[in-house]
Amino acid sequence: MPIEKMPKVPLPANYAPPGGERYKVRNGDSWETLAKAKRIAVGDLIEFNFKTRDPAEVNWYLRRNVGCRANDGVNWAFSAAASPGYIYFPPPIKPVVLKTQVPTTSCPDELAAAQATLTKSQQVASTILGRDAVNDLPYWFARLYQYITLHEIDERGKLDHPCFLLHFIPIFYDTYADVVNAFKGKGKLPDLWSAHFTHATGLIGIDPAKDVMVWMMAVNKSLTMAVTAHIQGDMAPSLEKAYRSYSTKYTGVPPFDAFKKDFFETNKPVFEKARLSLVNELVNRGTGMAMFGKSVDPKFASEAAKMINMGLDTTEIMRWRETAWSTAKKNLGQ
């Protein structure tokens, strides 16, 4: 009979190692054949099942836990008659992913992802208005976002850490793209976004050719609601997600606050450029000049923007962004 020894602190009779893959032993199986099939060491397979490599203790577990009935006179052996007859394979070892050093100014993959997002933003802007659209209000924030993405990519050379901002662009934009998909499919909109789309779909038949000021004010209100929702609702979790994924991808990532200057002081002119680009388009449409392919004098566009209070006050926007940054920093434990 096989030599057995009960462990000092035996495992339960129905013990299943955490994460193990259960296997019903068959005739012809052995520790050696099963370990070879899984490309693991025999001793590692035995220890994973019984937390011991002592032959006598292993025999005790084979009889008591696995229910082996066959033996070779020295050790219990696997067979189809074993009841319950289960052993467990350890989970596969995940390959070690070597992280690369955090990039400074050159990061082709991050740039490609940001450029793909720019393409997506163009597609969203061109398709957000369906055939049954009652006005063009949803278009303008989509278009503003396209301008922001364009200028952020173009102006990346002025940043201290351009690669992190490029990494952030698709993460932040996708929160808006998801909302647009819900809007198009008449799905459930996040509470903060409901006001923007309710306003956009509730005003029927606004025609800039008939009353340009009413139309411009409606656009302004729509933009204000969208900016509010995106910064107050989406920015903090997007910043947190971007920093975590960036830190997973690269080694040597600096503390979160190292990127703050890029997002506020250095990147601030981007928003002014995007705002001016949008106002230029708005004034063209509102005055009927677009049909002639003319552009509007930037000074005139800027004055028009001030007159109708286009968007939110920049100071207020920056306060909201500060709050979002502080929230993300706290959630990151920094």
Q: Which DSSP state fits 288? A: T
- Judged by phi (left if over 0) then psi (alpha if -120 to 50, else beta), residue 293 lies in left
pLDDT of amino acid 10: 96
| DSSP E strand stretches across the chain | 21-24, 70-71, 76-77, 86-89, 100-101, 250-251
Give the tokens for residue 156: 């990346």
How far, in Å, CA of 268 to CA of 266, rounded? Answer: 6
The residue type of 227 is: V
pLDDT of amino acid 293: 43
Give the tokens for residue 153: 């990519």
pTM above 0.75, yes or no: no
Contact 234, 241 (CB under 8 A): no
Q: Which DSSP state fits 103? A: P
Half-sphere exposure of 290 (CA within 13 A, CB side): 12
The residue type of 179 is: V
How far, in Å, CA of 275 to CA of 311, rounded? Answer: 8
**3-state SS class at 186:** coil
pLDDT of amino acid 302: 58
The residue type of 49 is: N
Give the tokens for residue 10: 């035996």
pLDDT of amino acid 204: 65
pLDDT of amino acid 38: 93
Give whole-number Cα distances, 232 to 180, 237, 326, in Å.
17, 10, 12
How far, in Å, CA of 148 to CA of 325, rounded? Answer: 19
Q: Which DSSP state fits 40? A: -
pLDDT per position in the chain (334 positions), as tens? 899 999 999 999 999 999 999 999 999 999 999 999 999 999 999 999 999 999 999 999 999 999 999 998 899 999 999 999 999 999 988 777 678 999 988 999 999 999 999 999 999 999 998 887 788 889 999 999 999 999 999 999 999 999 999 999 999 999 999 999 999 887 888 999 999 998 877 776 666 666 777 777 888 888 889 999 999 999 999 999 999 999 999 999 999 999 999 999 998 888 888 888 887 787 777 655 443 344 555 665 555 556 555 556 777 888 999 999 999 999 999 9
pLDDT of amino acid 295: 54
pLDDT of amino acid 205: 65
How far, in Å, CA of 271 to CA of 277, rounded? Answer: 10
Listed by start position, the domains of the chain span 21-89, 100-331
pLDDT of amino acid 291: 35
How far, in Å, CA of 263 to CA of 162, rounded? Answer: 10
Contact 146, 122 (CB under 8 A): yes
